Amino acid sequence: GQQLNQSPQSMFIQEGEDVSMNCTSSSIFNTWLWYKQDPGEGPVLLIALYKAGELTSNGRLTAQFGITRKDSFLNISASIPSDVGIYFCAGQLRDSNYQLIWGAGTKLIIKP
């Protein structure tokens, strides 16, 4: 099925470092969402973006909806051990029944 281009696939960082990941698509999206999934759990919504150009923060997390509606990024500042997990972007196409298109995920690993 259709999928977003999410990168990087994985990241190895030191605690305290900033993290950046992004998703791109050739399609125009109505909504961009960023989720985090811990092992054996369902995804948990981190940030939802509804307007082109929108920049939204949630604690140490910041995400932006690209002005072209075809991309989004997520930044995590000053990473801590509990940030470890897999981060997924998801987009909702215009005129769809809430159906989401998913990125392949970015696995975040924090080096001790």
Partner 1 sequence: GAVVSQHPSRVICKSGTSVKIECRSLDFQATTMFWYRQFPKQSLMLMATSNEGSKATYEQGVEKDKFLINHASLTLSTLTVTSAHPEDSSFYICSAGQTAGIGYTFGSGTRLTVV
Which residues make up the interface to partner 1 (CB under 8 A)? 1, 3, 31, 33, 35, 40-45, 48, 50, 88, 90, 92, 97-100, 102-105
- In the complex, what is the shortest distance from the CB of residue 21 to partner 1, in angstroms, rounded to a whole number? 14
Q: What phi and psi, each to the nearest 5 degrees, are found at residue 59?
A: 65, -125
Identity of the residue, 73 or 102, whose beta carbon is nearer to partner 1 in the bound complex = 102
Shortest reach from residue 57's CB to partner 1, in Å: 18
Name the amino acid, one letter, at 54: E
> Residue 32 or 73: which CB sits closer to partner 1?
32
Q: What is the DSSP string of 15-61?
A: TT--EEEEEE-SS-EEEEEEEEE-TTS--EEEEEE-STT-EEEETTE
